Structure 1
Amino acid sequence: MKLEDIRREYSKGGLRREMLADEPTAQFEVWLQQAVDAKFSDPTAMVVATVDETGQPSQRIVLLKHLDEKGFVFFTNTGSRKAQELKGNNKVSLHFPWHAIERQVIVYGEAKPLSTAAVAKYFLSRPQESQLAAWASQQSRPVSSRKALMETFHAMKAKFSNGDIPLPDFWGGYCVEPSKIEFWQGGDHRLHDRFMYVKQPDSTWSIERLNP
């Protein structure tokens, strides 16, 4: 297999300035709905990129759980690698890779911690097993075996068997407030269509086309 020989054309449709909404949240909602309609298994999956104190980037896939005019919301263990890196540098990039429809969206912004009330509201809406998993996992830390992890899970299940599962004090969420959002649509001959929304000081958005 020669990796350099693997290629294809991108020809599912172009993107023109007149097709774009005036602000990026509205445009993103249109594309997200189209990804949902296309029956993607995880249309809300996004890559979250953070940077540690040495400048080393790291990435992981999480699920978008809320979107409004303020930004993009996700939840995580506050002891996780991403949460620890966000303490030192809250600048973040999100990437939505919708390959099947030859689209991607990249969000640049700052991650702001959510209130305890907002985190609790979402946590209590999760399935019970997911709530227990949050208690059982010391996210990003070493664990000796799958067996050890499951033993902790079952111990948490027994601990909370007689009532509601409370919000862990090590579980939180973030709203990524965007400063720039890029919309990318694949094009013939690698002449892809790229448009960047940039937030202005008066909170309006400018839009510029980028070279592919």
Structure 2
Amino acid sequence: MKKEKLQQLREDYSKSALDESDILEDPVQQFEKWMEEALKSEVPEPNAMTLSTVDMQQKPHSRVVLLKGIEDGNFIFFTNYASQKGEEMEENPNVALCFLWLELERQVRIEGEAEKLPGEQSLAYFKERPYKSQLGALASNQSAVVPNRAFLEERFKELEGKYAEGEVPKPETWGGYKVKPEVFEFWQGRRSRLHDRIKYEKVGNKWDIKRLSP
């Protein structure tokens, strides 16, 4: 691809604005408001969020996971504890989340600490998952090297036969995390690249709110 093609890409955002007089004092409530608007606008998978972690060599790694709930201000998601991201969060619980809703010209960045959910909460959610999603979690040793696609499909078929009529057991290494936010940034695209950026930062028990230059 020619460099010029990328340089010529332009979008002039104009759908909305974000003013200090319009935002809520609690960033979690502000996020929930924006999420509701994303749901009503039928944004594809509005709960998809980029999760960034840091390894022991201080190298960052990012991937997309799905937000599965907000409880007591904490952001909930589930994954494999033995995966690369699981191992990195075990060593360094500081993480970043990023939601991008292009249809609304919006982005939300969140920084905070990740902590494992209680085992019973992870088990309860696992039991609510679709049958084949349960099998997929059991079949995959996430992030481990496999010889080929056929290896995974054969493993899945074996488990499908083994648990055709019974309850699928939750893998010991599968479970949930909660991210306790310490920083939020709400971004609203505006014309001429003069975007709106509102930052919330936790100071004690209160949220300090600032406008940032785009």
TM-score (norm: length of structure 1): 0.97
**2:152 — aligned with what?**
149
The answer to whether the 8 Å contact 1:114/1:174 transfers is yes
Query: What is the aligned counterpart of 1:118 among 95, 118, 121?
Result: 121
Q: What displacement does 1:69 show?
A: 2.7
Q: 1:81 aligns with which of 84, 88, 91?
A: 84
Per-residue CA distance 1:131-179 (angstroms, 9 max, x = gap):
0000000111111111110100111112222311121111011000000
Measure, in 2, the Cα distance between the counterparts of 1:41 and 1:185.
18
- Residues 58-73 of structure 1 correspond to what in structure 2 (within 5 A)? 58-73=61-76
Q: Deviations over 1:23-43 (max 9, x none)?
A: 011100110011111112211
Q: CA RMSD in A?
A: 0.9
Equivalent residues, number: 211
- Inter-partner Cα distance in structure 2 for 1:172 and 1:55: 25
Gaps of 5+ in 1: none
CA–CA distance in structure 2, aligned partners of residues 69 and 15 of structure 1 = 25
Percentage of matched positions with identical amino acids: 42
Distance 2:38 2:94 in 1: 26
**Which residue of the partner structure matches residue 182 of structure 1?**
185
Following TM superposition, the consecutive aligned residue runs of length 4 or more in structure 1 with deviations greater than 3 angstroms are none
Residue number in structure 1 paired with 2:17: 14
- Letter of the aligned partner of 1:64 in structure 2? L
Q: Which residue of 1 aligns with 2:106?
A: 103
What's the offset of the Cα at 1:10? 1.1
Secondary structure of the residue aligned to 2:21 is helix
Taking structure 2 as the reference length, the TM-score comes to: 0.96
Partners of 1:91 and 1:8 lie apart in 2 by 33
Q: Offset of 1:124 from its aligned partner?
A: 0.4
* Alignment-derived partner of residue 97 in structure 2: 94
Which residue number in structure 2 is paired with residue 192 of structure 1?
195
Structure 2: which 5+ residue stretches go unaligned? none
Q: Is the 8 A contact 2:28 2:73 kept in 1?
A: no
